[in-house]
């Protein structure tokens, strides 16, 4: 029978993938982490992380990713930066096809493909994307110095990023479709106390308008059906996430209505030998700490699945 090159391939290098990789490298598995861009996933573009245990004063998303990557590297995690074009998850040996044509094989896979920002799907949104419409406050905030801008959304991302954007913008209007925020109370308190933040409740953005220079206004609809125009030069769309599941065989892999992968408590998916961790999973809370914890659980499940086979790597007495 064909031999797999790896005991484990981890698909995706965000906090879930990096933690699974750290555990697998320490567990002396023959493991490879495949990531198409830089490691870190969405955390890489998170301005400030204030709730990751151990970082009492908080830490920037960039620095947290840097530390997580360095931690996995310390145990020799093998990484490959490449784009995956197909995954074959069935059978005892799974395969990962790369854009280059290379095929990688493994006995087990942990899916850590994460999620990406959801879109409003309204007129003008795509036309002005990168010219006033943004999905990343950390990346684009500094472009809006002394300008009036808007944020749409009422979750943790919207409120945390609205607070961040007040460092640059002269005014930030948070537009929310309901009369109550979903964000955690401490963020709500900070936002309500911030003089630069205004709220428009029960309001939807119908259209992004602008000219050759970029966005100049938004067409809004209020609860009572009235429409109005808000003059802003930037709109940050921060309304949640969509799963990065395009590569996944959703006819074979159980997923919820939103396309997030369903696992059991041990992170096992409906396909034997395939596990999932982090934002790609179907779940309530998408926190960095969850992703990291799930990465650890998934890797321990992989070890269990592999039946504690003898390590492929030689004994290392230097650590
Ligand atoms: P989220 O919690 O799903 O919130 C999405 C927000 O966008 C909701 O307020 C929702 O309104 C609104 N929304 C969704 N679709 C919309 C649409 N088509 N038009 C207008 N508004 C729309 O998403 P998130 O804030 O990105 O957070 C994602 C996950 O990351 C959450 O689990 C969150 O807790 C976590 N996170 C944590 C932190 C932290 O702990 N510091 C920071 C950022 C994110 P409704 O409220 O009406 O549904």
Catalytic residue annotation: 136, 139-140
* Ligand 1 touching residue 239 (CB < 6 A): yes
Burial class (CB in 10 A: 0-12, 13-18, 19+), 199: middle
DSSP classification of residue 58: -
Q: Which residue has the tokens 């230097």?
A: 318
What dihedral angle (degrees, nearest 10) is formed by the CA atoms of 96, 102, 107, 108? -30
Question: Phi/psi class of residue 267: alpha, beta or left (left: φ > 0; alpha: ψ in -120 to 50)?
Answer: left
Closest CA to 79 of 21, 126, 120: 21
Which residue owns the Cα nearest ligand 1 atom 29? 286
Instruction: Give residue 61 CA to ligand 1 midpoint distance, Å.
Output: 18
Give the three-class secondary structure for 255. Answer: strand
Contacts of 309 (CB under 8 A, 6+ apart): 7
Neighbours of 272 (CB within 10 A): 12
Q: How far is the CA of 241 from the centre of ligand 1 (A)?
A: 8
Domain limits, the chain: 6-116+241-307, 119-237
Q: Is 157 in the pocket of ligand 1 (CB under 6 A)?
A: yes
Instruction: Give the nearest ligand 1 atom to 118 CA.
Output: 15
Supply the angle between the helices 15-26 and 61-74 in degrees, to the nearest 10: 20
- pLDDT tens per residue, the chain (319 residues)? 578 999 999 999 999 999 999 999 999 999 999 999 999 998 988 878 888 999 999 999 999 999 999 999 999 999 999 999 999 999 999 999 999 999 999 999 999 999 999 999 999 999 999 899 999 998 899 999 999 999 999 999 999 999 999 999 999 999 999 999 999 999 999 999 999 999 999 999 999 999 999 999 999 999 999 999 999 999 999 999 999 999 999 999 999 999 999 999 999 999 999 999 999 999 988 889 999 999 999 999 999 999 955 455 666 676 6
Instruction: Give the residue among 237, 215, 225 at the shortest CA–CA distance from 154.
Output: 237
pLDDT tens figures, 35-76: 999 999 989 888 788 889 999 999 999 999 999 999 999 999
3-state helix, strand, coil in the chain (%, to 5): 25, 30, 45
Ligand 1 centroid to 160 CA: how many Å? 11
Query: Class of 6-116+241-307 per CATH?
Result: alpha beta
- Are the CB atoms for 112 and 13 separated by under 8 Å? yes
Planar angle of CA 19, 254, 245, nearest 5 degrees: 60
CATH architecture entry for 119-237: 3-Layer(bba) Sandwich (3.50)
Please report the pLDDT score of residue 47 as a whole number: 78
Q: What is the pTM of this model?
A: 0.83
């Amino acid at each position: 029978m064909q031999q797999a090159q790896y005991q484990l391939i981890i698909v995706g290098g965000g906090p879930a993938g990096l933690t699974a990789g750290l555990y697998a490298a320490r567990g002396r598995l023959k493991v490879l982490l495949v990531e198409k861009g830089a490691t870190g996933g969405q955390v890489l573009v998170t301005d400030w992380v204030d709730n990751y245990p151990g970082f009492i004063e908080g830490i920037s998303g960039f620095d947290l990713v840097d530390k997580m990557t360095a931690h996995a590297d310390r145990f020799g995690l093998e990484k490959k930066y490449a784009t995956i074009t197909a995954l074959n998850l069935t059978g005892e040996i799974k395969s990962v096809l790369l854009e280059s044509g290379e095929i990688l094989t493994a006995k087990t896979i942990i899916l850590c493909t994460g999620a990406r920002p959801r879109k409003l799907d309204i007129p003008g949104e795509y036309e002005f994307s990168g010219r006033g419409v943004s999905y990343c406050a950390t990346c684009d905030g500094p472009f809006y110095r002394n300008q009036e801008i808007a944020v749409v959304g009422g979750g943790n991302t919207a409120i945390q990023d609205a607070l961040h954007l007040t460092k640059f913008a002269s005014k930030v209007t948070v537009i929310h479709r309901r009369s109550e925020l979903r964000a955690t109370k401490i963020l709500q308190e900070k936002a309500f106390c911030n003089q630069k933040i205004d709220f428009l409740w029960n309001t939807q953005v119908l259209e992004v308008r602008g000219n050759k220079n970029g966005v100049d206004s938004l067409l809004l609809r209020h609860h009572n059906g009235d429409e109005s125009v808000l003059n802003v030069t930037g709109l940050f769309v921060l309304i949640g996430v969509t799963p990065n599941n395009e590569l996944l065989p959703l006819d074979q892999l159980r997923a919820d209505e939103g396309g997030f992968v369903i696992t059991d408590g041990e992170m096992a998916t409906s396909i034997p030998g395939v596990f999932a961790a982090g934002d790609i999973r179907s779940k309530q809370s998408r926190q960095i700490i969850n992703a990291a914890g799930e990465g650890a659980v998934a890797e321990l499940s992989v070890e269990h699945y592999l039946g504690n086979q003898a390590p492929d790597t030689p004994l290392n007495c230097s650590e």
